[in-house]
Structure 1
Amino acid sequence: MVKDLRIAVDIGGTFTDVVLEESGRRLTRKLLTTPQRPEEAVLEGVRLILRDAGRSFGDVEVFVHGTTLATNAVIERRGARTALIATNGFRDVLDIANESRYDQYDLTIEKPRPLVPRALRFTVPERMDVHGKVRLALDEAAVRAVAAELGRQRIESVAIAFIHAYVNPAHERRTREILAAELPHLRVTLSSEVCPEVREYERTSTAVANAYVQPLMDSYLERMQAALAAEKFTGTIYLVTSGGGLTAIETARRFPVRLIESGPAGGAIFAAQVAARAGERRALSYDMGGTTAKICLIDDFTPHTARLFEVDRAARFLKGSGLPVRIPVIEMVEIGAGGGSIARLDALKRVTVGPESAGAEPGPACYGRGGLHPAVTDANVVLGTIDPKDFAGGTIALDLDAAKGALERDVAAGLGLSTDMAAYAVYEMVSENMASAARVHAVERGAVVNQYNLIAFGGGAPLHAARVAEKIGVQRVIVPPNAGVGSAVGFLAAPVSFELVRSRYMRLDTFDAASASELLAEMSAEATALVAPGARGMKTFERRVAFMRYIGQGHEILVVLPPRPLVASDAEALRAAYERDYAALFERHIPNAAIEILSWSVQVSTETSLPAVQGAAPTVPAAVPVGRRAVFDGRSGRTTDVPVYRRDRLPSGSTFSGPAIVAEDETSTYISASFTAHIDASGCIVMNRRAG
């Protein structure tokens, strides 16, 4: 057999999704995640899908992997016993943060709990100035004393974050050398390598996060690599980064913090591909799985990106309430609103959903694995939008009575509602949570949410997409083929890529083209070296960016640089580009104001292409349902028999109207009475809002 298979695996908090592509054919599998040893579900899923294809591990050319393991380790505080070594006087950077309150008027706010407690933060005498000059030499004896204490404290991993190390990393590197000699098995993260940027709080937080998850991720990736080798796999392993690129496993083990949002990044790539095929220049990616829901804006077929995001927010929609991680990332809002999100009544007897999740173990009550509390999946089973006999292609039998019992105990009894109405209350609340997240995310980006159309995927989103669209005023909803495993499909469209960002201050009125070109060349060489193991000879391209601002401002906007050495005359071109981009964001610029460059970015990627816009679907006879199912509608208070269609029996051009259900192995789509639907030329379910 020819080695021509490509496999992608996405480990979520509840489900592990597996996708196989072979010469235009695509096979999928969805199975429950095994939280204690995630690689077990991965290997089982790959074995099953290879059996379906009649192939073996030796036929696999590429294995692409994304996971939320790093994210979950931070959220659940299951990382390594980690310490921090900082410059004297900077022990409390993680507590002081940026000296702001995410809610000015709440006297009882909960600040995010640092990953390293104060007792495990150590300082040593040393000091660099803002230009990288040594003001105080590193006290090596103090470093050795700290090393001895790290040994006594049984520290597994340490982050080193010295002031201004982003300009001159010499002291951080020397400290690592001393620790390596004193504690050979200690894992060491340098802030100057993980996040060589100005702003010590974000840089320190990022270094600490990398150190915190590194032993866990390194152990997991080592086990995964060994398990695949034992199965006679000899292809290439890629990991998906939070920025939507692929990286070699060696780079992933060195910078595991880059994997924190790897699963959701694949979903955004998938949605961008769907948007391009449908010609949707403004799309709202809506990915709802078993544990969380993610919303991402896509403009001109490109997901919005950012350089900073927060993990483990204490307040769902408030910036500053989470732990900052400064890495390239596809920008999205993520909330605890998945199929496993637990529903309950609060002290005021209001229905609340999430962020706690039943996960895969024990799972929602209907899984019959010991879960006692109702989850969103239980509500959908009771409402009738999920068939308990055909969940996950019939591989997981659901217990309708258990779902009803949990909803009755935890929701219906306290409100005096019927079980059906309690289920609808849960459905309505989780849909409102997602609609609110979409509104907030759009406002933060200066976008108008109802000017976008919704692309729904993940195991749960197609069930809720119509209701979310109604709430936010969206006119069209697209549910693509393989929606239930969309993130894994997106992995296979991602480029091999790595982005470096470094801070070096420069004013445009004293622009030093030679210095900037030297820095960019160094960054280009380093990024190319990191991409090379994964690119394996593929053609690459480079994108260079400067992060600029008016002097006195607190934040920057990016300006694209030419992919060549800079010259003195580029200063005026950069000013013009900055003022143009600034005006695009704020509708004006500030004439004659001084401009400065704070940081520089170089991204090296293999080439990828977007799919062409699809043609028109053919005309075919009206769709024929395979059956009918009783679905409870809370707005009317009635149960209605709605037609059920099998997606694999709906050819392009098929038309039907809501209310209706389209069932498939990985998910089901509920089309409400507000929409008509058809199957487009690429097999997407397209729901269009009825007039009026």
Structure 2
Amino acid sequence: MTNLLVGVDTGGTFTDIVLLQDGNFKVHKVLSTPSDPSQAILQGLRELGVLQDVSVLVHGSTVATNAVLEHKGVATGLITTAGFRDILEIGRQTRPKLYSLQAQKVPPLVPRELRVEVVERLNERGEVMLELDEASLTTAIETLKDAGVEAVAISLLFSFTNPAHEQRVSQQARAAGFYVSTSSSILPEFREYERTSTTVLNAYIGPLIARYLERLEQELAQRTPLRIMQSNGGSISSAMARSEAARTLLSGPAAGVVGAAFVAQASGFEQTISFDIGGTSTDVALINGMATETTDGAIGGYPSKLPMIDIHTVGAGGGSIAWFDIGGALRVGPRSAGASPGPAAYGNGGTEATVTDANVVLGRLVPEAFLGGTMALDLSAAQQAVATIATRLNTTPEEAALGIIRVVNANMETAIRVISVERGCDPRDFALVAFGGAGPLHACELAAALRIPRVLVPMVPGVLSALGTLVADTLKDYVRTVMVPSEEAQEEVVSVLKELERQGRQDLAHEGIALHNIRIERYLDLRYVGQSYELRIPFEQDVEQAVDDFHTAHGQRFGYNDPNEQVQVVNVRLKARGVTSKPEQRRQAAVHDARVKAVSQRQAIFAGAGGEVISYDVPVYQRDDLHLGAVLKGPAIIVQYDTTTVLPPEWRGYVDEVSNLLEQEQIEGK
């Protein structure tokens, strides 16, 4: 029997499963089980009859994210240098909303009584100024044991230059039975607040991730390796995920971006914007040849400096609830109906109007074709829910439904502007890759608003994040702070990179990656002397060339540069990539007659030029019936098991040779 690869993405509403065997895909969706996401995964594998036959399972998980957002991590303590126990409280003293009179800081994940100090001190070069006091260490350990702490984060001042003191503290903490997270192993990088916050995040969720993975592995066949997606778009073994759980904080959304890049490149698109609408949120990211990364991420207000794909998320999804604010304005999200009870149209007791209900009322979702006909939608329940909004607005239900769609689209448009326009990129130069259960429903209207010329809908858009887990490479990130002027940096940069490369190759070998599949990528974090932020620049062989590239990148990002200013090398970074074999995208042969026949006709509603309600007689097509060369003219609806695609009036769609659906607005006169 050939290898059976399984990719899984657990979302807020559905858990998506993709099976890959002999180049053939099979997709499956089950309702998520938020109390224990592994139950939905196991249920789906049992329904498919493959639970004991899986060769490799790659999992994009929301367990870590939800634990942080809901403050449901384990009791965590922090051991730090004497005088620095309040670093989590002090932070950067930045205010996300500068003029808000009700600004509130998120509470630290470790309360003050669980933050303890040890007497020790290093200087910025890692030289010992004060030896570690063993008595203070013993007192700190005993204090945390008495408090019932399960995990301990260790972040000592300047430990990124010399980890000796942290290693000694770690040794004692492990001997006391704690789950231990040290900053010198998680993030050996300067900026003590972000380094401490990242280390605390890792400790806070580490035991939860370890227990979750253990439960999942117990149900899988013993020979089945379990791999976990990271926030940087690569996968790691479950053993690594247990010790460095913070690397999985955005694993689900990251898998979607990887999948979007994979399908877009097969159609010849290198510059794309990934657009993923799920049940509770919308995730967008910029792909400029490769996914854009950041080290300035935050989860629930808590900074993380670990590399992650630069994904912007808004609380706008298919399950987002429509409501009115104190001023009477219509809002949509971030509160969601989730998987239970779900939108009113699901028939599970939901009564509040959601985006899904609005699409049902507008005729854009076909009730009898939802999930391939395995789950019927309740039209009357959706109409009743939207009618409550219409009554408040003093409009018809159809006008209220259009209003809900306009509001949620505006939220999504803002998200796309954040990762494109605000990063110095013009969205008109990109294609929009629409996926997730609701992405293809909204993509064309979003593209029109942002003047994005093309929309690409993959063959399996509703489960693209699950597919992304299967095409993700094994990825390891390494960083070392050096802080040297660029003109003096060449020798030190080369030396540090050699050391990091040796570590990267060794770690990938432990992951089972063959030597010929290892790729090494090198980067420098550069800034003008005196700046407090850096830009990451690829490094080939020469620091001087990297500095020239930095000036160019600075001009693109911020609108100015100064080649006469002195440049500083702040961090040396290395990415060790274990390249996986990607599944072949099967290419269609041209057919003599590519005309496609509609399976039905239905009434669907779209807004006219003045925002008025216009009802159209719309053909409904089956996605499986679309072949290379097929051309569709909007308005049209395309149904398939995992999503519904809406082609508005004045839009045209055609199928390319890898079965992706490409959509373009027909501009008058062109």
- TM (norm. structure 2) is 0.94
Q: 1:71 corresponds to which letter in structure 2?
A: T
CA deviation after TM superposition for structure 1 residue 257, in Å: 0.7
Assess, with a 3 A threshold, how the Cα gap between structure 1 residues 617 and 332 changes in structure 2: closer, same or farther.
Answer: farther
Any idea what the Cα deviations from partners look like across 1:417-454, whole Å, max 9, x if unmatched? Answer: 22222222111111111011111221221111222221
CA deviation after TM superposition for structure 1 residue 466, in Å: 1.3
CA deviation after TM superposition for structure 1 residue 612, in Å: 9.1
Any idea what the Cα deviations from partners look like across 1:22-69, whole Å, max 9, x if unmatched? Answer: 1121100011111111111111212233x3xxxx44543221111122
Matched residue, 2:169: 175
Matched residue, 2:487: 509
| Other structure's SS at 1:535 match | coil
In the alignment, which of 89, 94, 97 is matched to residue 95 of structure 1? 89
Matched residue, 2:121: 127
What pairs with 1:424-503 in structure 2 (closer than 5 Å)?
Answer: 424-503=402-481
What pairs with 1:502-541 in structure 2 (closer than 5 Å)?
Answer: 502-511=480-489, 513=491, 515-537=492-514, 539-541=517-519
Q: Is 1:16 the equivalent of 2:10?
A: no
Matched residue, 2:598: 625
Assess, with a 3 A threshold, how the Cα gap between structure 1 residues 207 and 660 changes in structure 2: closer, same or farther.
Answer: same
Structure 2: distance between partners of 1:435 and 1:581: 26
Structure 2: distance between partners of 1:105 and 1:459: 37
Matched residue, 1:315: none
In the alignment, which of 603, 608, 614 is matched to residue 575 of structure 2? 603
Structure 2: distance between partners of 1:369 and 1:504: 57
Matched residue, 1:85: 79
On the 8 A contact 2:60/2:252 being kept in 1, the answer is yes
Matched residue, 2:374: 395
Assess, with a 3 A threshold, how the Cα gap between structure 1 residues 121 and 402 changes in structure 2: closer, same or farther.
Answer: farther
Q: Is 1:138 the equivalent of 2:110?
A: no
Structure 2: distance between partners of 1:622 and 1:447: 38
Q: 1:308 corresponds to which letter in structure 2?
A: D
Deviates further, 418-427 or 643-652: 418-427
Structure 2: distance between partners of 1:157 and 1:455: 41
Assess, with a 3 A threshold, how the Cα gap between structure 1 residues 439 and 573 changes in structure 2: closer, same or farther.
Answer: closer
In the alignment, which of 257, 260, 266 is matched to residue 268 of structure 1? 257
Structure 2: distance between partners of 1:348 and 1:92: 39
Assess, with a 3 A threshold, how the Cα gap between structure 1 residues 117 and 407 changes in structure 2: closer, same or farther.
Answer: farther
On the 8 A contact 1:278/1:614 being kept in 2, the answer is no
CA deviation after TM superposition for structure 1 residue 214, in Å: 0.9
Structure 1: distance between partners of 2:349 and 2:132: 56
On the 8 A contact 1:267/1:490 being kept in 2, the answer is yes
CA deviation after TM superposition for structure 1 residue 304, in Å: 1.1
On the 8 A contact 1:548/1:558 being kept in 2, the answer is yes
% identical aligned pairs: 37
Any idea what the Cα deviations from partners look like across 1:514-545, whole Å, max 9, x if unmatched? Answer: x4344323322322233223334362111111
Assess, with a 3 A threshold, how the Cα gap between structure 1 residues 685 and 665 changes in structure 2: closer, same or farther.
Answer: same
Any idea what the Cα deviations from partners look like across 1:220-255, whole Å, max 9, x if unmatched? Answer: 0111111113xxx51322111111111111111111
Q: 2:339 corresponds to which letter in structure 1?
A: A
Deviates further, 612-621 or 515-524: 612-621
Matched residue, 1:678: 654
Matched residue, 1:669: 645
CA deviation after TM superposition for structure 1 residue 465, in Å: 0.7
Structure 1: distance between partners of 2:153 and 2:304: 14
Matched residue, 1:251: 240
In the alignment, which of 626, 631, 634 is matched to residue 650 of structure 1? 626
Q: 2:603 corresponds to which letter in structure 1?
A: A
What pairs with 1:196-595 in structure 2 (closer than 5 Å)?
Answer: 196-229=188-221, 233-300=222-289, 302-312=290-300, 322-409=301-388, 411-511=389-489, 513=491, 515-537=492-514, 539-562=517-540, 570-583=542-555, 585=557, 589-595=561-567
Any idea what the Cα deviations from partners look like across 1:119-145, whole Å, max 9, x if unmatched? Answer: 332222222111111222223222222
CA deviation after TM superposition for structure 1 residue 573, in Å: 4.0
Structure 2: distance between partners of 1:489 and 1:305: 20
Deviates further, 587-596 or 658-667: 587-596
Assess, with a 3 A threshold, how the Cα gap between structure 1 residues 508 and 633 changes in structure 2: closer, same or farther.
Answer: closer
Q: 1:271 corresponds to which letter in structure 2?
A: A
On the 8 A contact 1:616/1:680 being kept in 2, the answer is no
On the 8 A contact 1:243/1:305 being kept in 2, the answer is yes
CA deviation after TM superposition for structure 1 residue 576, in Å: 3.8
| Other structure's SS at 1:492 match | helix
CA deviation after TM superposition for structure 1 residue 668, in Å: 0.3
On the 8 A contact 1:619/1:654 being kept in 2, the answer is no
Q: 1:197 corresponds to which letter in structure 2?
A: E
Q: 1:13 corresponds to which letter in structure 2?
A: G
- TM (norm. structure 1) is 0.91
On the 8 A contact 1:248/1:533 being kept in 2, the answer is no
CA deviation after TM superposition for structure 1 residue 460, in Å: 0.8
Structure 2: distance between partners of 1:394 and 1:498: 42
Structure 2: distance between partners of 1:585 and 1:403: 45
CA deviation after TM superposition for structure 1 residue 168, in Å: 1.3
On the 8 A contact 1:247/1:531 being kept in 2, the answer is no
Structure 1: distance between partners of 2:496 and 2:462: 44
Structure 2: distance between partners of 1:454 and 1:148: 55
Structure 1: distance between partners of 2:372 and 2:586: 31
Structure 2: distance between partners of 1:526 and 1:406: 57
In the alignment, which of 147, 150, 158 is matched to residue 153 of structure 1? 147
Q: 2:132 corresponds to which letter in structure 1?
A: L
| Other structure's SS at 1:450 match | helix
* Structure 1 stretches lacking a partner, 5+ long: 313-321
CA deviation after TM superposition for structure 1 residue 607, in Å: 2.7
On the 8 A contact 1:478/1:686 being kept in 2, the answer is yes
Deviates further, 358-367 or 604-613: 604-613
Structure 1: distance between partners of 2:280 and 2:364: 19
Any idea what the Cα deviations from partners look like across 1:253-279, whole Å, max 9, x if unmatched? Answer: 111111111111111111112221222
Assess, with a 3 A threshold, how the Cα gap between structure 1 residues 408 and 612 changes in structure 2: closer, same or farther.
Answer: closer
CA deviation after TM superposition for structure 1 residue 455, in Å: 0.9
